[in-house]
Structure 1
Amino acid sequence: MARKKFYLFPQRFGAFPYVWLLYLLMPAFNLQIEHGWKLLLGVCMLVLFAVTYQQLYWAGSGKAFHLWLGLQLLLIVVLSVFYTPYNFYLGFYAANFIGWYTDKKLFRPAYAVFALSILVPLLIAVQGMELENLVFLVPFLLIMLVFPFGIRSLSSNRLLERKLDQANEVIKEMVKREERMRIARDLHDTMGHTLSLITLKSQLVEKLAAKDPERAQAEAREIQRTSRAALRQVRELVSEMRAVSVAEELAEAGEMLRSAEIALDVEGDVSLEGVSDLSQNILSLCIKEAVTNIVKHSGADRCRISVELPAGKVQITVEDNGGGLGRAGGGHRAGNGLKGMAERLSLIEGSVTLNAGDSGGAVLTVVIPRIVKEGVTA
């Protein structure tokens, strides 16, 4: 069983938390003037402060977050009052986490406690502090007091963006559900009567086949005319459905890849003028499948999609710089995903191939004829 990899901070924050750890060197340097038990206690408190810093990132919110933040503020007060007032710079750490309170009911009391934790030690130390040192501290104090408001604004914006993304997903699902219901209603209304009629006539033909062959043939011809009419109705219904074009799918693919921090390069004429809606819809589904596999399995940071129009064909190539076919899973799974593409493309006489890239990664190529015969006789 593979061991789970340890992370000091949540991955979603990137390198940001690690950079702030460097500023702990300043209070550690200030402890050099201490001796004996006071030095030992100061080191223990500084280590505990680093633990609170890590735990606040993992807690994020809730009761544990309040407790760790309260302990951090207490450590700032103790280190500033009983050691050196310059330890008040540790308040920048707490200022960051105070800004995580997006709810005003929580932000206001948390900010008040934070401000007192910073101001009280300075007011205690101000009597023995030289004027020039005090003037030097004032700008940092003002920045520290304003800092939570800036962080809170960023946190609120991120929260709104997440809610907006969730709302958009809900809207997309509702649109899909409504479209499916509309199609179901239209199929029932347009095809229900026709199929019932074909069923009745086929039963009649079965009975007349031996008794009245001429009438049975006439009824069979009537079934053919009815089935052709039904086929026209289906085509009309399908033509009214909104097909996704390649250009639209590439725009959605760009959004998905950006969210996964994968750069996208698109080459060629994506409008594909003259290519039928059916062909573009199938090509769009293939692009969606390929991009989804790149995001999930490839480990790539760059993707290239090219659209070419060689003689009588449409060729779309999706290439990534990920782990390639040798990687577990690969950039494109050669399983159900590739099989599904091949099945869709077979409807329009297309094909799909998957190869290793020249410099690693995987290259998926989709080719379809540019002119598809649509005049099928029932």
Structure 2
Amino acid sequence: MALKQFRLFPRRFGYYPFIWLIYLVFPILNLQGYSGYKLLGGYALVVIFTVTYRQLYWTEGKAYSAWLGLQMLLIAVLCIVYSPFNFYMGFFASNFVGWYSDLRRFKRAFAVFAVMVVGLALLSFAKMYGTEGIFLFPFVVMMLITPFGIRSINRRRLLEKELDQAHEVIKDMVKREERMRIARDLHDTMGHTLSLITLKSQLIEKLVVKNPERAQAEAREIQRTSRAALRQVRELVSEMRAVSVAEELAEAGEMLRSAEIALEVDGDAALPGVSDLTQNILSLCIKEAVTNIVKHSGADLCRIGIGMTAGEVRITVEDNGVGVGLLDRGTGGEAQRRDGNGMKGMAERLALIDGSLTLVPGTGRGTLLTVVTPRVVKERKDGETA
């Protein structure tokens, strides 16, 4: 079993804990006037103090309070037994007192700290000469204020973290509710229609020999029913929140940037005059294509081209990756890529608006995906949209 890597301080704090270690130079300098066992004892106290400093970044709960109490005791000993100038080490403890998130524990720790600071300040003032003791007063005030400032900063960070978590929960709830709504709508609108088609198809199977004319009429009725069902599906899709191509390109750029893949976009992403339904389906196709590039291509460049003519919208997505074995596919085609569940879903979405997609090798290497859709979805006289 691999040994766990030792870390002096948690990674999330960066260089902040190391900066404070610089101030341990001062108690070491204050020991230079001593010798023998007292000097060795002073060094030992500084070493133990350093250990408490390190442990306070790792522990919590009762262990945290114990290490903080030991640190305060060491400050008091270094100040009383050695030099009154070691009083300034109280800033270490004032920082850690502010880390208590529980208000009752914070008050308790602050009360102990305040008694220590005031008591050491009075003792140090008695040992200092002339006006030296006067300079202690502002430091006492700063030490007593610091825990409140540190606690306020930590509480704000905690609230921001909780707010971010709440936003993620809300996003998940919105997605879940949207899926449930779509499922309910599909069940309510399509369940009866599909049941009707099933019954009529069973009837046709019985009538095809006995009464061919009646079977033909029922078949025509199934066609009308299926077209009505297709229209209902399109209405459901159009009622969903439409994501524009421009919005999807912004998200694609973030995804590619995270994967260290450059993105080049050519054309007008606004697609003026293109319906929300068409833009939504095109956005889903772009998302699927970019996801495939990030996961499978090994590319470092993605080019997305957007073009419009009087009758159609054309989007190309090309990468310079390793490429795959590809097959052309049009609307309703049965050919699939070996990893083609995503591509199959793309083709099925495009079929709703009479669109098509084609996959071919790229100009140099990699893959070129071309998506073509009509600019206007027309309503045919038989009720089926095109």
Shared fold (TM-score, shorter chain, > 0.5) = yes
Distance 1:114 1:197 in 2: 79
Match of 2:175 in 1: 176
**Local SS of the residue matching 2:6:** coil
Compute the TM-score of the two structures, normalised by the length of structure 1.
0.76
The one-letter code sitting in structure 2 at the alignment partner of 1:7 is R
Are 1:130 and 2:132 matched, yes or no? no
The one-letter code sitting in structure 2 at the alignment partner of 1:55 is Q
Deviation at 1:214, TM superposition (A): 1.8
Match of 2:212 in 1: 213
Match of 1:6 in 2: 6
Deviation at 1:353, TM superposition (A): 9.0
Deviation at 1:289, TM superposition (A): 7.8
What are the superposed Cα offsets for residues 150-205 of structure 1, whole Å, 9 maximum, x if unpaired? 11111110111111112112211221221112111111111111011001101101
**Local SS of the residue matching 2:32:** helix
User: 276, 280, 303: which is aligned to 2:279?
Assistant: 276
Which residues of 2 match residues 364-375 of structure 1 at below 5 A?
367-369=369-371, 371=373
Change over 3 Å in CA distance of 1:256–1:218 after alignment to 2: closer
Match of 1:204 in 2: 203
User: 294, 306, 310: which is aligned to 1:309?
Assistant: 306
Deviation at 1:243, TM superposition (A): 3.1
Partners of 1:306 and 1:317 within 8 A in 2: yes
Q: Which structure is larger by alpha-carbon Rg, 1 or 2?
A: 2
Change over 3 Å in CA distance of 1:345–1:234 after alignment to 2: closer
The one-letter code sitting in structure 2 at the alignment partner of 1:282 is C
Which residues of 2 match residues 29-178 of structure 1 at below 5 A?
29-59=29-59, 61-178=60-177
What is the root-mean-square deviation in Å for CA atoms of aligned residues? 3.9
What are the superposed Cα offsets for residues 17-66 of structure 1, whole Å, 9 maximum, x if unpaired? 1111111122122222222222222222211111111111112x311111
Distance 2:366 2:81 in 1: 66
The one-letter code sitting in structure 2 at the alignment partner of 1:82 is V
- Give aligned-pair identity as a percent: 53
Change over 3 Å in CA distance of 1:309–1:265 after alignment to 2: closer
Deviation at 1:318, TM superposition (A): 9.4
What are the superposed Cα offsets for residues 118-170 of structure 1, whole Å, 9 maximum, x if unpaired? 22122112122123322333333322222111111111101111111121122
Distance 1:86 1:189 in 2: 80
How many pairs were matched up? 341
Partners of 1:76 and 1:117 within 8 A in 2: no
Deviation at 1:270, TM superposition (A): 5.4
The one-letter code sitting in structure 1 at the alignment partner of 2:70 is L
Change over 3 Å in CA distance of 1:16–1:251 after alignment to 2: farther
Deviation at 1:350, TM superposition (A): 6.0
Change over 3 Å in CA distance of 1:369–1:199 after alignment to 2: closer
The one-letter code sitting in structure 2 at the alignment partner of 1:34 is Y
The one-letter code sitting in structure 2 at the alignment partner of 1:19 is I
